[in-house]
Amino acid sequence: MKDADFQLFPDAASTVASRVDALFWFLTFLTMVLSLLIAGLIVYFSVKYRRSSTADRTPYRADTRLELIWIIGPLPILFYIFFWSATLFFELRRPPADSMQVAVVARQWMWKFQHPSGKREIDVLHVPIHRPVQLTMISQDVIHSFYVPAFRVKQDVLPGRYTTVWFEPDKVGEYHLFCAEYCGTNHSRMVGRIVVMSQADYEAWLSNDTGQPPQVAGMQLFEKFRCASCHGSSPSPRYAGERDGVRGFELSEPGIQRGPPLAGIFGRDIPLVDGRTVTADEAYLRESILRPQAKLVAGFPPIMPSYEGQLSEENILELIAHIKSLQAEGGTPP
C-alpha cells in the first residue's frame, strides 16, 4: 500500500487481477477506436455536406447488403466480449472448495473479521499468499460494499442477507480496503487494510491467537440456549389438531425429535410443509434461527421461538459454523 507514491492504477495483487485488467483494456481500446471512427465520420460528413458544398445530395436508397454487413459484422466481437466476461464473472462467483473461510460483519463504520481459528480483527485482515480466501459477509446496519482495488473484487454487503466474495492474493504486501457504498456521515472513514503474508509469517502471526474457533463458540451458544432439547432425541410434542382456533400438542414417544436433526443438515435439501424444498445453506439456517416460522420443516410442529434480538450477527455466524461442523450419524460429513 503506497500512500506517499502517486499511482495511476492500483497494484494487481490477485490471481484474477491481470485477467480483469485485460478485459478492461480491451473494452477501453475498442471504445476508443469506435469513438474515433464515429467522430471522424461526423467531421468528414459535416465538411463534405456543408451548406456551401456542391456535393451530390441525391436521396440514397437503402442497400440491404450494407445494412446486413453492419448488423451482422459486429456480432462476433460482441459474442467474444460476452463469453470472455461471462467466463470471468462465473470464476469470480465460484470459490475453490479448499478456500479459507473468513466471516465478515460490516457496521458503521468498521469491518470486523473472524478467522477459522477464531482470531478477530477490526479494519485489518491478514491472509496468506497463494491461498484462496472466501469471505461470508453481512451488514449489521445499512448497505456497505467490500472493495479491494488491488484484488479487483467488489461485493455489496447487505443487512439481513449473506453475500460472498473470494480472492487469491499472489503478492506479499498491504492493500487498501474501502467501503464503496455511501453508508452514512463517516463513510469516508470506513477504510481498512488487507495484509498478505508468506505462509510461514502467517502461521507465526496466527500462533499468537488466543481466540476461540467459531464452531466451538457456536457449540457453547448451542448449549446455552438448550438447542439440543429440541434438535436431539427426547420426548417431543406432537401436533394434536386444532380446537377453537388454538393448536394443541401432546408428548410423543421418546426418541422422536421436536425439531429436525441438525447433524449433516448443511447443504441438504429440506422438505417443507407447503411441499417445497429448500437447500440448507447459510441463509436458510440464519432465517430459521431468527424467523423459524418462515419455512416450516415437514413433519415437525411449529414450536421453535424466535431468537431475533438475542443473538448478534457474530453469534449467528458462530452457530452456523457449529451446525456446519456437525456430522451425520455414522461419521458422514455434511
In a shared domain, residues 25 and 147: yes
* Percentage of the chain exceeding pLDDT 90: 51
Per-residue pLDDT band for 300 (boundaries 50, 70, 90) equals confident
Q: Which of 166, 182, 211 is where one domain is finished?
A: 211
Give per-residue pLDDT as tens, 207-247.
877 678 888 888 888 888 888 888 864 444 444 444 444 44
Higher-pLDDT residue of 70, 7: 70
Per-residue pLDDT band for 55 (boundaries 50, 70, 90) equals confident
In a shared domain, residues 260 and 187: no
In a shared domain, residues 95 and 202: yes
* Percentage of the chain exceeding pLDDT 70: 87
The answer to whether residue 61 sits within a structural domain is no
Local structure of 88: helix, strand or coil: helix
Query: Cell numbers at residue 203, please?
Result: 502461521
Overall average pLDDT of the 79-89 stretch: 95
Among 31-40, 49-58, 181-190, 284-293, whose mean pLDDT is lowest? 49-58
Owning domain of residue 299: 214-325
In a shared domain, residues 238 and 207: no
Which CATH number do you get for residue 235? Answer: 1.10.760.10
Give per-residue pLDDT as tens, 281-290.
999 999 989 9
Prediction pTM value: 0.78
Among 41-45, 208-212, 251-255, whose mean pLDDT is lowest? 251-255
Overall average pLDDT of the 38-51 stretch: 89
In a shared domain, residues 116 and 206: yes
The overall average pLDDT reported for the chain is 85
Count of domains for the chain: 2
The answer to whether residue 222 sits within a structural domain is yes
How far apart, in Å, are the Cα atoms of 319 and each of 56, 72, 171, 176, 295?
Answer: 79, 55, 34, 31, 19
The pLDDT value recorded for residue 161 is: 92
In a shared domain, residues 164 and 28: yes
What is the Cα–Cα distance from 112 to 32, expressed in whole angstroms? 42
Asked if pLDDT for residue 62 goes beyond 90, the answer is no
**Which helix or strand (DSSP H or E) is residue 173 part of?**
strand 173-179
The answer to whether residue 310 sits within a structural domain is yes
Give per-residue pLDDT as tens, 150-192.
999 999 999 999 999 999 999 999 999 999 999 999 999 999 9
Query: Cell numbers at residue 305, please?
Result: 421461538
In a shared domain, residues 167 and 263: no
